[in-house]
Amino acid sequence: MACKACRLVLLYAWMNAVWQGVIHMHKQWIVSDPKIMMGKPVIAGTRITVELILEKLAAGESVEQILEAHPHLTREAVLAAIAYARDVLRADVVYPLAERAV
Protein backbone atom coordinates (compact mmCIF):
# COMPACT_ATOMS: atom_id res chain seq x y z
CA MET A 1 0.00 0.00 0.00
CA ALA A 2 1.34 3.45 -0.92
CA CYS A 3 2.03 6.05 1.74
CA LYS A 4 -0.58 8.76 2.32
CA ALA A 5 1.49 11.44 0.62
CA CYS A 6 2.01 9.15 -2.39
CA ARG A 7 -1.73 8.49 -2.60
CA LEU A 8 -2.46 12.20 -2.52
CA VAL A 9 0.10 12.84 -5.27
CA LEU A 10 -1.44 10.05 -7.36
CA LEU A 11 -4.92 11.39 -6.68
CA TYR A 12 -3.81 14.87 -7.71
CA ALA A 13 -2.23 13.52 -10.90
CA TRP A 14 -5.35 11.51 -11.69
CA MET A 15 -7.57 14.51 -11.02
CA ASN A 16 -5.46 16.64 -13.36
CA ALA A 17 -5.73 13.94 -16.03
CA VAL A 18 -9.52 14.09 -15.98
CA TRP A 19 -9.68 17.85 -15.39
CA GLN A 20 -10.01 18.65 -19.10
CA GLY A 21 -13.50 17.15 -19.10
CA VAL A 22 -14.65 18.72 -15.83
CA ILE A 23 -13.51 22.34 -16.02
CA HIS A 24 -15.52 24.36 -13.54
CA MET A 25 -17.59 21.28 -12.76
CA HIS A 26 -17.60 22.21 -9.09
CA LYS A 27 -19.88 25.15 -9.79
CA GLN A 28 -22.82 22.77 -10.28
CA TRP A 29 -21.83 20.43 -7.43
CA ILE A 30 -20.66 22.73 -4.63
CA VAL A 31 -23.03 25.15 -2.92
CA SER A 32 -22.89 27.37 0.13
CA ASP A 33 -25.97 28.40 2.09
CA PRO A 34 -25.84 30.06 5.53
CA LYS A 35 -28.71 27.78 6.61
CA ILE A 36 -26.78 24.58 5.77
CA MET A 37 -23.70 23.64 7.80
CA MET A 38 -23.18 27.28 8.80
CA GLY A 39 -22.49 28.25 5.19
CA LYS A 40 -19.58 25.87 4.65
CA PRO A 41 -19.31 24.64 1.05
CA VAL A 42 -21.20 21.36 0.69
CA ILE A 43 -22.03 18.88 -2.06
CA ALA A 44 -25.34 20.11 -3.52
CA GLY A 45 -28.34 18.37 -2.00
CA THR A 46 -26.35 17.04 0.96
CA ARG A 47 -24.85 18.16 4.23
CA ILE A 48 -21.47 16.68 3.28
CA THR A 49 -18.88 19.44 3.40
CA VAL A 50 -15.90 19.86 1.12
CA GLU A 51 -13.91 19.97 4.34
CA LEU A 52 -15.09 16.47 5.31
CA ILE A 53 -14.12 15.04 1.94
CA LEU A 54 -10.66 16.60 2.16
CA GLU A 55 -10.22 15.34 5.73
CA LYS A 56 -11.09 11.81 4.64
CA LEU A 57 -8.64 11.95 1.73
CA ALA A 58 -5.91 13.38 3.95
CA ALA A 59 -6.52 10.58 6.46
CA GLY A 60 -5.78 8.07 3.71
CA GLU A 61 -9.26 7.08 2.58
CA SER A 62 -9.62 6.43 -1.12
CA VAL A 63 -12.33 7.92 -3.29
CA GLU A 64 -13.87 4.45 -3.41
CA GLN A 65 -13.99 4.26 0.40
CA ILE A 66 -15.67 7.66 0.57
CA LEU A 67 -18.23 6.54 -2.01
CA GLU A 68 -18.90 3.35 -0.04
CA ALA A 69 -19.41 5.35 3.18
CA HIS A 70 -21.70 7.83 1.40
CA PRO A 71 -23.56 5.88 -1.31
CA HIS A 72 -25.53 8.93 -2.46
CA LEU A 73 -22.27 10.67 -3.51
CA THR A 74 -20.78 10.26 -6.95
CA ARG A 75 -17.17 10.24 -8.09
CA GLU A 76 -17.89 13.52 -9.89
CA ALA A 77 -19.04 15.12 -6.63
CA VAL A 78 -15.83 14.08 -4.85
CA LEU A 79 -13.74 15.39 -7.75
CA ALA A 80 -15.73 18.61 -7.68
CA ALA A 81 -14.89 19.02 -3.97
CA ILE A 82 -11.19 18.59 -4.74
CA ALA A 83 -11.42 21.02 -7.67
CA TYR A 84 -13.26 23.54 -5.49
CA ALA A 85 -10.56 23.34 -2.81
CA ARG A 86 -7.85 23.75 -5.45
CA ASP A 87 -9.53 26.82 -6.92
CA VAL A 88 -10.03 28.38 -3.48
CA LEU A 89 -6.36 27.87 -2.66
CA ARG A 90 -5.31 29.32 -6.01
CA ALA A 91 -7.37 32.45 -5.34
CA ASP A 92 -5.94 32.95 -1.84
CA VAL A 93 -2.54 33.87 -0.53
CA VAL A 94 -1.09 30.86 1.25
CA TYR A 95 1.68 31.45 3.73
CA PRO A 96 4.17 28.72 4.61
CA LEU A 97 3.95 27.31 8.11
CA ALA A 98 6.76 28.34 10.42
CA GLU A 99 8.78 25.46 11.79
CA ARG A 100 8.12 24.85 15.45
CA ALA A 101 10.97 24.89 17.93
CA VAL A 102 11.21 21.55 19.67
Q: Domain containing 30: what range?
A: 4-91
- Can you give the pLDDT at residue 90? 77
In a domain, 98, yes or no: no
* Res. 73 pLDDT band, cuts 50 70 90: very high
pLDDT greater at residue 32 or residue 100: 32
In a domain, 85, yes or no: yes
In a domain, 51, yes or no: yes
In a domain, 97, yes or no: no
In a domain, 39, yes or no: yes
For the segment 37-67, what is each residue's pLDDT rounded down to a tens digit? Answer: 998 999 999 999 999 999 999 999 999 999 9
In a domain, 26, yes or no: yes
- Alpha-carbon span 94 to 102, nearest angstrom: 24
In a domain, 102, yes or no: no
Going by the DSSP 8-state scheme, the letter that residue 55 receives in this structure is H
- Alpha-carbon span 89 to 32, nearest angstrom: 17
State how many domains the chain has.
Answer: 1
- Can you give the pLDDT at residue 23? 45
- Alpha-carbon span 19 to 80, nearest angstrom: 10
| Distance set, CA 76 to CA 1, 16, 21, 87, 96 (Å) | 25, 13, 11, 16, 30
In a domain, 16, yes or no: yes
Q: What is the CATH number of the domain that holds 30?
A: 1.10.10.10
For the segment 2-41, what is each residue's pLDDT rounded down to a tens digit? Answer: 566 666 666 665 566 555 444 455 678 898 888 999 989 9
